[in-house]
Structure 1
Amino acid sequence: MRILVVEDEPKTGAYLKKGLEESGYSVDVAADGADGLILAQQEEYDVIVLDVMLPTMDGWAVLKTLRATRATPVLFLTARDDVDDRVRGLELGGDDYLVKPFAFVELLARVRTLARRGPPRESELLKVGDLEIDVNRRRVKRGGNRIELTPREFSLLQLLARRQGEVLSRTQIASYVWDMNFDSDTNVVEVAIRRLRAKIDDGYDVKLIQTVRGVGYVIDCKESD
């Protein structure tokens, strides 16, 4: 099982990583809110341990943005024990709340409970024509041929496939695939689409990723006129 720890205090982050890895988990650590959000959006985690007071983005902002696309269980860590803070965290979509200082055995028990609960699965297998996307294994095939994608390419393809037939603007794509401060005036989205097309569509008669001029992009097994 994979755990993401978002904690800006180096000693606490290292302590949690060591303890959770010794308990059998694979652990990634992010030292600020923006980096934690990017990892949480790009990768598949069983539980996220999220500090509230973080640089660049606080835990509230991270969770609010994350909940637009992910249902990964979140355990808040904070030095603040106000009832209002606990209620705010739960209302934003947090699953549990642990106040610092804490006993590691208690944190571990809560992580295990959340991991067993897990997020609701949307769809384990997405299909667009002869394209198959195994969401949980992060594997992609077209016409039975395996296609290797980078994490960013997979996130982009998954977004398009989940919204099959719906035209997504460059701004929408940027807000889901990149961080919230992404400058949509750059050509990063176009470059990413071009690279994804080279892997998904080159060599196939039916082109799945289509451009709607002046609007954005759509994935569909029906070619546009």
Structure 2
Amino acid sequence: MTSTTHAGHPTESSPLVLLAEDDDDVRETTELLLLRRGWRVTATVDGIAALESVDTEVPDVAVLDVAMPRLNGLDLTARLTALGIPVVLLTARSLPLDEVTGLAAGADDYVTKPFDADVLSARLHAVLRRRLGPPQELVTIGDVRVDVRARRVERRGAQVPLTSVEFRVLEALLRNRGAVLSREQVIAMVWDSTWQDPRIVDTNVQRLRRKLGPTVIETVRGFGYRVDRAPA
């Protein structure tokens, strides 16, 4: 696998990856590269250990080697997707039939070894975005009204101009209304990477507060940001 090193800072609220890989070198390298990109990682040596780890903490997404002892990646995929956990499969093979078999087993995506670590991270973010689904098309928060489809924001009946980045930050929070998003999670959704300085999120939230009012986006100290818990 190849890599461009980027500093990452996983926090308690960063997305958790369950990594199941029986090759020690591949497992340890992949774990390190994901940590550098801001992911939390639970690394396991085979399918049984991976399944047992879910009892301790449910991951946001799983990365599974196809060829593992005791419980292979395809069988484990069926078990995890039944629990609602999205799966990205790793394999040393690149035959179309292998990809079809993996996707038929319920995998959300498929990466062939040797893989680029940046590509794997981007695929994981894409899987999480797809799982989030679309937000409400019309959202009201106090005196602010957001038309997501039209990308139009109004406050007290007057249109509020937002930059494309400001709108995407707001949309990321709306997609997860009531949940606290870390800066790293917002970066992953808006910029499709974890390489940005986390302060870029703070800057855009401050701009949104100036335009929409100070109470639309709540700061949860030590964790991140949230749009109000209860729908208006």
Report which structure shows greater RCO (CA 8 Å, sep ≥6).
2
**What's the TM-score once normalised by structure 1's chain length?**
0.50
**What's the TM-score once normalised by structure 2's chain length?**
0.49
